[in-house]
Amino acid sequence: MLTMTPQARAIAAFTLAAMALIGWLNRLAFAAYLTFGGELPAGDGSQLVFSLLGLAVAGGAFWFAHSAADAGAGWQTDLAQAGRIIAALAVVVAVLATVGVFTGDQSFYSGFMYTG
């Protein structure tokens, strides 16, 4: 198991949360989707799977930020708590992208699942 200092966990949690919010972490979901035989998300079924993978990635960033927020007193706790808030926003964005799949609005979905 990789052991990290509380400061390193806070920095990593904040960075992953920010990457999840701006969409860069969606590339992990996109790579996993393509690795296991998915095609480019064009139809409703593939968009649903991709948006659920994005939700899982954002949830993972939230879990990591949440676990890093119990680092004790100091700046690392403040940074990890800020990461937790940003990761919560990333989860909301991923939920909205999933709702976009169900509404059938392509521009709504594409705006939230930016991977470029």
What does the alpha-carbon distance between residue 105 and residue 21 come to, in Å, rounded to a whole number? 21
- Would you call 51 helix, strand, or coil by DSSP? helix
Residue environment code for 60-94, b if the CB has 16+ CB neighbours within 10 A, otherwise e: bbbebbbebbebeeeebbebbbbbbebbbebbebb
pLDDT for 38 beyond 80: no
Q: Residue 31: which H helix or E strand, with range?
A: helix 26-35
Residue 49 has a pLDDT of: 78
- Where do the structural domains in the chain lie, given as residue ranges? 7-112
Task: Give the chain's mean pLDDT.
Answer: 79
Sorting pLDDT into bands at 50, 70 and 90, what band is 114? low
Q: Taking the model in full, what pTM does it have?
A: 0.78
